[in-house]
Structure formats: C-alpha cells, structure tokens
Amino acid sequence: MTGTPEVWTPHATVAVIVEDPDGRFLMVEEHSDGRIVFNQPAGHIEENEAVLDAVRRETLEETGWAVEPRHFLGLYTYVAPANGVTYYRFCYAADALERVTEQLDDGIIAAHWLTLDELRAQPDRLRSPLVLRCIEDYRNGRRYPLDVVVDEKT
C-alpha cells in the first residue's frame, strides 16, 4: 500500500421539521446529484458551531425563515448510495417565527409548505428516505428535550 491511507470521516448534519397550523411542513426544493428534490431544511454542522445554531442557520439560509428549536427528534444514520458517504442527521422540531428574507442559498430553488400526503405522493422527489421517516416520527409524537444532545457551546 502506498500513499496516505484514506480516513473515514462521517458527516454531521442537522435537519429541521417545521409544521404550520394547517399541518403543512416547511420543505426545501433543491438540486442534488443532478435531480430536483424535496428535503427538510438541512445541512452540515460547521466547525466550532453549536448544533442548535446550525438548526437556526440552515433553516434561515435555505428557507428565509427564522425558527426556534423546541424538541430533538433523534439521530438518524444514512449511507448515501450515490457517494457512499455516511451522514449522521440530528433531527429537530422547531417553531417558525417569521419569514425574514427572500434570499436563499445557492442550489435552493424555493421553500414550500407541503402536506405529508403531498410528500408521500412523490417518493421519487425526496432527497432520501429520511425525509418521510423524520416527519412520520414527528407525527407519531417522538419528542426529546433539547438538552438530550449535550453541546458545550449552548
């Protein structure tokens, strides 16, 4: 074996479930691997960033909505078939506070409020199986206190 050995590095991400009073969920329509897909507001936790700060930042950047996290839903592991990368998804439920900007991240087409039935009707448009899994867990009452994830920055 020559060269530097490859080091396995997991990817830590957040995803955010935001439901409005009409039962619709805040979703992101985005480009991913040559497809146009729906996902929760989600993204990587940046170096030295508190997890809850990543929840707020990613939602604002991808949807223009300011949110406040209320519950931790779970840690979901996913190996993406397209690239073999292992993602650890810290999923949270948050309340929408207000729409503060129309400016969205590169690669984001639009933010939408969609029902669970609308999402189930187009499984081929979901970024991963975790999109429905997280919403269904939320709908089934899964809720943990925010402090179940210990973060010395919060």
Statement: residue 100 has pLDDT above 60: yes
Q: Which residue has the higher pLDDT, 7 or 3?
A: 7
> Considering the chain, what percentage of its residues have pLDDT values greater than 70?
95
For residues 81-88, give the mean pLDDT.
88
* Residue 91: band (very low, low, confident or very high) from pLDDT cuts 50, 70, 90: very high
User: With 90 as the cut, is the pLDDT of residue 143 above it?
Assistant: yes
- Please choose, from the candidates 148, 10, 151, 145, the residue with its C-alpha nearest in 3D space to the C-alpha of residue 88: 10
Distance CA 26, CA 40 (A): 7
Task: Examine the pLDDT at 1 and tell me if it is beyond 60.
Answer: no
**Beta pairing class for 86-99 and 11-18:** parallel
Would the pLDDT of 124 be above 90? yes
Mean pLDDT value of segment 4-20: 88
Domains of the chain: 24-146 (3.90.79.10)
Mean pLDDT along residues 85-114: 95
Under the banding of pLDDT at 50, 70 and 90, the label for residue 94 is very high
